[in-house]
Structure 1
């Protein structure tokens, strides 16, 4: 490894079939699109999945397994909120037919079974979990965990699989401040993972990169299609890519809050998934959960029984 190499892409170079999956639900899979297009240019087979906030009982897609559905451009779902269906339609508008596999928002045990079913269905050998934000790195004793239920459920499910490689990328440094993440504790987590040899560096998303321009197009398309509930994270990232700085808002959804749009927001931070899973203090108690409510309850119980670090500002 030297300055001319990317540890993230060195790892991905070994893959034959990569599954990019949104870890935290909602629009997280959009944050993986620059990687999707880059990997295809590298000649890799790439599939897309997302932990879905859409009520899948109201979607007419093909049921692959319990809690797992294939969504395509023609798939009908709720008109007001269906990020995966909108993304499939964006691909169709580009002349491509792309499936997005949707995981239901459930506990870790059924989610792990759905992940295993998708591995059997597709045969991928590598997974990249994509977090729109940074809270997937919180191990449990930080001042705030953000919205950890979906991220840690995805982390546990992928950790249970046998694969050639498992990776995590975070996009949107600073966006989780709205949900109470202490970014000094995030940087502490990065440092800890670096000591473990599990930090794979950063990759900047820059204007003019074809992969980044396509990501921007998809985000703006989804913002028009779902004008009442556009992606806060991806609009913030797009703003950072375009050079916005500070308290600048691209959607009325963030009005009334103070944003910190910054250049670090438009960088992929990459990590070894196994190391992130081993570092998480509350992962094991979640493995036999069956519902998302049970996941939330056990996280609350963990937090009540363990001391947490005081808030820390970044001293620069």
Structure 2
């Protein structure tokens, strides 16, 4: 029965060497951990990467390209904020040595070189980008774009890579309201992608899943190691997975905001990368950028030229 097979899993059925990469920096790669554990249980080789907010140039990891560092449990580096290193250390407590490949915050062209370096090194046949949140689907004319520089740099770089299977997962519907995202426009984007064969369905994480339990253990261990830098996205998703609802304050960074923790935050939304990138109204403006600041400037210039922006729409529910 076709209805018993999610399109996303049909898409990766033949994949053997998968790069699971956090698209938007920070804790994005943690939102991919349930999938990481699940795919490994299927016998697939899975590698972890993340666009990093850590000050990589103050660490002493192994540089594989000008914008790509291999981080391991013993990589010297900044102690206050280095989630990739602490994740590698958590894997050591599980009896595994798992490197986390860190992309520097840069422009599209250096990031493209970094991705191609990993593809060649690890013989990657599939890339799955992970967005903790939903701002990666904003095309540019919405009232707010969230924090688009990193997500869009990852999308634009992977869009240019010649691989048959390139996917995007978003986890945490509703969280980016905190960052000014209108989720009516996210749902509009999903419908648009559905019409253009870019949407591969959704599925939910539940607290009974062993992969989700390991995801919680890993995330909480890293949050404990960095108490001054809690992740809004991760704590919100974990609260939702636990069955909490409403204005649940699990993070000191949100105490002055009203949250709406709910079960929709536990959904993976799945897409093909190329249709998502092709929706981006300023894609051509950023393809040749060299720095993150170049991307910011291109977005600001694009937004300044817009004759009008979409208006905010409250969800009628």
TM-score where L is the length of structure 1? 0.98
Name the structure 1 match of 2:12. Answer: 12
- CA shift, 1:64, in A, is 0.8
Q: Secondary structure at the match of 2:4?
A: coil
**Any residues of structure 2 matched to 1:183-202 within 5 Å, and which?**
183-202=183-202
Would you say the 8 A contact 1:15–1:164 is kept in 2?
A: no
- Structure 1: gaps spanning 5 or more residues: none
Looking at structure 2, the residues matched to 111 and 292 of structure 1 have their Cα atoms a distance apart, in angstroms, of 10
Q: Secondary structure at the match of 2:2?
A: coil
Name the structure 1 match of 2:220. Answer: 220
- CA shift, 1:77, in A, is 1.4
Name the structure 1 match of 2:290. Answer: 290
Whether 1:304 and 2:307 are equivalent positions in the alignment is no
Looking at structure 2, the residues matched to 87 and 46 of structure 1 have their Cα atoms a distance apart, in angstroms, of 15
Whether 1:135 and 2:130 are equivalent positions in the alignment is no
Would you say the 8 A contact 1:22–1:51 is kept in 2?
A: yes
Would you say the 8 A contact 1:24–1:154 is kept in 2?
A: yes
- Structure 2: gaps spanning 5 or more residues: none
Name the structure 2 match of 1:233. Answer: 233
What is the count of residue pairs matched by the alignment? 316
Name the structure 2 match of 1:313. Answer: 314
Looking at structure 1, the residues matched to 34 and 68 of structure 2 have their Cα atoms a distance apart, in angstroms, of 24
- CA shift, 1:157, in A, is 0.7
TM-score where L is the length of structure 2? 0.98
Looking at structure 2, the residues matched to 197 and 117 of structure 1 have their Cα atoms a distance apart, in angstroms, of 29
Looking at structure 2, the residues matched to 82 and 232 of structure 1 have their Cα atoms a distance apart, in angstroms, of 16
Name the structure 2 match of 1:68. Answer: 68
**Any residues of structure 2 matched to 1:175-190 within 5 Å, and which?**
175-190=175-190
- CA shift, 1:253, in A, is 1.3
Deviation track 1:177-213 (CA, whole Å, cap 9, x = no partner) reads: 0110000000000111111121111110001101100
RMSD of aligned residue pairs (Cα, Å): 0.9
- CA shift, 1:232, in A, is 1.2
Name the structure 2 match of 1:109. Answer: 109
**Any residues of structure 2 matched to 1:141-220 within 5 Å, and which?**
141-220=141-220
Name the structure 2 match of 1:251. Answer: 251
Deviation track 1:115-153 (CA, whole Å, cap 9, x = no partner) reads: 111111111010000000000011111111110000000
Whether 1:96 and 2:96 are equivalent positions in the alignment is yes
Name the structure 1 match of 2:21. Answer: 21
Deviation track 1:272-299 (CA, whole Å, cap 9, x = no partner) reads: 1111011111111101111111110110
Looking at structure 1, the residues matched to 257 and 108 of structure 2 have their Cα atoms a distance apart, in angstroms, of 32
Looking at structure 2, the residues matched to 164 and 47 of structure 1 have their Cα atoms a distance apart, in angstroms, of 18
Deviation >6 Å, runs of 4+: none
Q: Secondary structure at the match of 2:200?
A: strand
Whether 1:53 and 2:53 are equivalent positions in the alignment is yes
Deviation track 1:5-58 (CA, whole Å, cap 9, x = no partner) reads: 111111111211110000000010000000101110111110000000011111
